[in-house]
């Protein structure tokens, strides 16, 4: 591994590079994430911004700790989000963001251990005094069978795709939702125009 840089987006290409024009089935194995919970409109909720700050600060600190201790370099993964609301329509069609709940997370490679995460969270909190480092947790998340596709464009333009997925494709193909809506943000609205955003839309399902 010396002299090379691990990129899990490439290693797990089937999970992070779905097609744009169709929903595809994938089997998502158990994977380890740094996670943090919250609620409210991600555009206005202070807790959302501070959650991302904590996630990235600790994820980069873990990357440097692994490289220093093991000589292994890897790319920090993009942020991902689990999203839900009491009524599915609030998320898929009405887009009432104030009623959303979310878990933001960043995938961690196998070299990151629970002990290292605990140690690194404490170090980052002591050094940077970020608002939400104490709310982070390290957890294995297993989605299993999922439908997913790549969305190109702004987050608000996801609505037609989500309606088609939940109200047409899933029931018409004999599936039922079995977990939270999952989004993977392959690029950032701070760096590209809304029309160039690339987001993986993923929904855990099971056969009826």
CATH of the domain at 99: 3.20.80.10
Q: Is the pTM of this model over 0.75?
A: yes
Residue 162's domain comprises: 5-207
- Strand 31-39 relative to strand 73-74: parallel, antiparallel, unpaired? unpaired
Q: Are 71 and 16 in contact (CB under 8 A)?
A: no
**Mean pLDDT in runs of 10 for the chain (208 residues)?**
78 97 97 97 91 98 97 97 83 77 97 98 95 96 98 94 94 96 94 94 96
Q: Residue 46: what pLDDT?
A: 86
Q: Residue 94: what pLDDT?
A: 65
- Number of separate domains in the chain: 1
How many Cβ atoms are within 10 Å of 26's Cβ, its own excluded?
Answer: 16
H/E element, 13: helix 13-16
Q: Are 201 and 162 in contact (CB under 8 A)?
A: yes
Q: Residue 1: what pLDDT?
A: 43
């Amino acid at each position: 591994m010396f002299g090379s840089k691990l990129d899990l987006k490439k290693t797990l290409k089937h999970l992070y590079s779905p097609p744009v024009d169709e929903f595809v089935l994938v089997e998502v194995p158990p994977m380890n994430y740094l996670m943090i919970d919250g609620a409210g409109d991600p555009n206005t909720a202070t807790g959302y911004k501070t959650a991302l700050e904590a996630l990235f600060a600790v994820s980069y600190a873990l990357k440097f700790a692994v490289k220093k201790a093991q000589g292994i370099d890897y790319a920090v993964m993009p942020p991902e989000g689990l999203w839900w609301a009491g009524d599915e329509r609030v998320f898929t069609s009405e887009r009432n963001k104030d009623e959303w709940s979310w878990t933001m997370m960043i995938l961690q490679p196998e070299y990151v251990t629970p002990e290292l995460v605990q140690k690194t969270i404490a170090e980052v909190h002591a050094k940077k005094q970020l608002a939400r480092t104490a709310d982070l947790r390290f957890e294995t998340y297993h989605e299993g069978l999922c439908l997913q596709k790549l969305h190109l464009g702004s987050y608000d333009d996801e609505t037609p795709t989500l309606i088609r997925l939940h109200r047409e494709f899933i029931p018409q193909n004999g599936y039922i939702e079995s977990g939270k809506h999952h989004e993977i943000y392959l690029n950032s609205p701070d760096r590209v125009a809304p029309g160039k955003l690339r987001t993986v839309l993923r929904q855990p399902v099971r056969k009826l």
